[in-house]
Amino acid sequence: MKKYLIALLMLLIPLLTSPVWATDYFIDQSGNGDGDGSSYANRMSMANYGAGNLDASLDPGDTIYLCGTITTEFDTRESGTSGNPIILDGACSGEGGTDATINGTANGIHLTTDDYWTIQNITITNFTGRGIYNQNSDSIIVDSCTISGGDGSNPDHGIQMQRTGGSLLTGIEIKNCSIGTISNANNDTFNRNGIVAQGVSGLKIYNNTVSTTYVTGIRLLKSTAGDNDDNSNCEVYENDITNYWGGGIISHNSDGTIIKYNKIHDANAGLGIGVAYDSDNNEIYGNLIFNTGTNSTNLWNGVDINHDSQTGKVYNNTIYKVSGNCIVIDDGTANCDGWIIKNNIFDASDNDGSQVDEYAFRCNGDSISFVSDYNFLVPHADQGSDVFYDGDDDTSGYTLAEVQNGDPETGVQETHSYGTDPGLNDEASGDFTLESGANAIDAGTSLDYEKLLPGSSWPDGVLTVPCILDCDIGAYDYGTKIVIP
């Protein structure tokens, strides 16, 4: 008898934990037919939805199809549950209608303490605030949305995930989205962003295309709740970030951030990756950073580490033709000690120095403690053979040999590094794979990370291979290594 009870229980468990009675609802701006939302023919109006007419029947696991042009802000109501989110889907054409576009609202979609929502396949444009704005809601997934066309200079962000009190937000994912122009005003101060997260833990931002024109691409920032280290263990990876102004990816007040396999390029102005304001244990690896623009008056450098951000790692990145220096560690305002920098290509040969000098590596501060080795440091012609600048000892720069000899105050560095051409296929055309016989092949040290493979494409075709044996230097592996499972 016992075995039959166990068998019956096993059959019942899926019924108890899955949305067996999940229901589809349909909403458009004006409504149609009976207006109860039960079918496309009987669409509920946004006014009736906003009045709460769907609240009593909306359950975890249900799907709301948003249809046609919506001119009213969509505010979430109710919450889903783990494994059974409420889905807001703009793919109404598959249900007989027209796909959703939210146009001309303050915020396109606004969540406030409603957890477990998946927002997908929606176009949002001409907003004056945020495209999608989450305040204090956990387990929110934004997938395959298109957000652009902020109205004039007023809009704040394409997507904003914000904690304003209580615990850090968890379960947040932003993926497969296209973020376009947000504002028509230049932004050198990070006040506006394509994607911004404040007060989150475990956030994942991946496989997005971000082309914001006048604002920063992706930014992690402290929340309005007043904590110093408001974000933790976030990941930003495999994004294509271009045509921005200010910064490609900025990690502020964020411990344990992983920034990997992003393509950051062809910007209007600004820096590539910035780590600042007490952001400890950040890891930056496998990124391509190039052509970052020359228009900014106060933002530059390929990777910029500053303001008490400590004990991070910069591995296997390729940085070329950026405004200013390829990498900077700046502890002029607070310590930035403990960074490990290995297997990178820092090619300053075509960097722009119209606003600041153009070295492969620059340190600003008093006796910064770090480890840097197995890198290619290619000088800019304006600096002669100098690849390294120590801003604390009143010198114009150091050659690689002088750095290896320990002449700067930073001590002996770059013992196994190179000042020669790494052997990129065609960096001027954006091809940073390694040519046959390249000096960077097998020139690095083995690290517990993966590298890009030739044939990778962004944002959803990134290929990687473990960095094993004599690891190739730069973001790309030459592609000759065989991994045996």
Q: Are the CB atoms for 227 and 251 separated by under 8 Å?
A: no
pTM: 0.93
Phi, psi of 125 (to 5 degrees): -150, 160
For the cut 60, the answer to whether the pLDDT of residue 279 exceeds it is yes
Q: What percent of the chain has pLDDT over 70?
A: 89
Spatial distance between the Cα atoms of 223 and 227, rounded to a whole number of angstroms: 7
409: closest CA among 396, 384, 391?
A: 391
For the cut 80, the answer to whether the pLDDT of residue 188 exceeds it is no
Helix, strand, coil % over all residues of the chain, rounded to 5: 10, 35, 55
- Which has the minimum average pLDDT: 3-7, 96-100, 356-360, 380-384? 3-7
For the cut 60, the answer to whether the pLDDT of residue 3 exceeds it is no
Spatial distance between the Cα atoms of 407 and 251, rounded to a whole number of angstroms: 32
Confidence (pLDDT) at 183: 80
Query: Please, what is the average pLDDT of the chain?
Result: 90
293: closest CA among 260, 248, 359?
A: 248
Segments of 149-290 assigned E as strands: 157-162, 173-175, 178-179, 193-198, 204-206, 209-210, 216-221, 231-232, 235-237, 240-242, 245-252, 254-255, 258-260, 263-265, 269-276, 283-285, 288-290
